[in-house]
Amino acid sequence: MAGAPLFPKVDLILQPTPLHRLDRLSEELGLDLWIKRDDLTGFAFGGNKGRKLEYLMGEALARRVTAVVTCGGAQSNFVRQLAAACSRFGIKFGAAVMPLPYEFEPILGKMSSSNGNLLLGELLGADIRMLPNGTWEELFVAAATMAEDYRNCGEVVFEIPLGGSTPQGAYAFCQAGFELQEQADPFDMVVVASSSGSTQTGLTMAFRGTSTRLLGIACDPEPDMPEEFAALAAQLDSLAGTNLRLTRDDFEFNLDYVGPGYGVPSEGGMNAIRTLAQKEGIFLDPIYSSKAFHGLLDMAKKGELPHRVCFWHTGGTPALFAME
Ligand SMILES: Cc1ncc(COP(=O)(O)O)c(C=O)c1O
């Protein structure tokens, strides 16, 4: 999947993103620990979604849409970055959001419903429909209703799924994996936060057949996610004409660091934020990258990691300012 882009693409982010060693933590943990700075993608406060958006906006322009609709948690980083991308191309943008959409049991959380990513969405002029907490299914229905309302007003609407996890999103992260391969000698392992799936799916595809293991640390308590990653990989396989045929067992996925649930900071994650900030001066976010870094630190202390490790920082730091 290297070579000319397979899908229409726009330029949104600064790339390659920086890669550097974490000297103090390497010494403390007895690892050769590096960090891939997708928090510094340089678009709308950075983060992993910028890579996916280069292809999703490419598709939006190719289809000549006038409006884009998506959904997510109220502090969704994807909603923020997609809103900014739509501003850039003069496309109307709407999102249905819930403070804490849930799959299993509703849980209590403490994140602001006006600050952080929501404030940025408001500044971007996004049409955000805030719903009371409910199930993911209810959130998807609300997004579909919003898209229908837009159509009834004459808009040509592009509905983008949660987190931009489409084959294009996975393709963007497959290219990102190749970017890392060109930047440095091979790593034994790459560790990344995993949620809607296209980040982990694309990276897993990029490192397939190499000596690098890709470990996704779950941010949602959904053990069957690898099934969805495999389905996404199969869709990309057929579009790209590749034949990787990944199954759920090809995805290394660790559910031990989710904490109380999706969208809720965990104690271990908050301590991981403090560790990286105090040892290296780098900030993580409270919902995704902190949980992944908590996993990395804990597994390193238990001797469960190989020596040369790269932590893929996926951004999300505006959500820090939504913490109450
Ligand atoms: C900061 C951050 N890290 C990681 C992820 C997970 O990426 P994906 O949804 O592709 O699994 C997200 C998704 O929302 C995110 O915002």
pLDDT digits (tens, 9 = 90+) for 287-310: 999 999 999 999 999 999 999 999
Cβ of 117 closer than 6 Å to ligand 1, yes or no, is no
How large is the average pLDDT for residues 161-190?
Answer: 97
Q: Are 309 and 191 in contact (CB under 8 A)?
A: yes
* CA separation for the pair 109, 117 (Å, rounded): 16
Residue 194 pLDDT class (50, 70, 90 cuts): very high
Mutate to test the pocket of ligand 1, among 38, 120, 285, 314 (most ligand atoms within 8 A of CB): 314
Cβ of 196 closer than 6 Å to ligand 1, yes or no, is yes
> pTM here?
0.97
Same topology between domain 19-48+165-322 and domain 49-163: yes
Q: Which fold has domain 19-48+165-322?
A: Rossmann fold (3.40.50)
Closest by alpha carbon to 272, among 296, 256, 290?
A: 290
Joined together, the tokens standing for residue 4 give: 């000319």
Cβ of 288 closer than 6 Å to ligand 1, yes or no, is yes
Residue 118's identity, in one-letter code, is L
Residue 141 pLDDT class (50, 70, 90 cuts): very high
Whether the link from the prior residue into 16 is cis, omega within 30° of 0, is yes
Q: Is the pLDDT of residue 2 over 80?
A: no
Q: For the structural domain made of 49-163, what CATH number should be given?
A: 3.40.50.1100
Cβ of 194 closer than 6 Å to ligand 1, yes or no, is yes
Who has greater pLDDT, 111 or 125? 125
Of all protein residues, whose CA lies closest to atom 16 belonging to ligand 1?
77
* CA separation for the pair 218, 197 (Å, rounded): 10
CA distances from 190 to 35, 43, 290 (A): 9, 24, 15
Mutate to test the pocket of ligand 1, among 48, 276, 283 (most ligand atoms within 8 A of CB): 48
Burial class from Cβ neighbours inside 10 Å (0-12, 13-18, 19+) for residue 137 reads exposed
Residue 159's identity, in one-letter code, is E
Amino acid 1: pLDDT: 78
Domain boundaries, the chain: 19-48+165-322, 49-163
Amino acid 110: pLDDT: 79
Biggest CA pair distance of the chain: 60
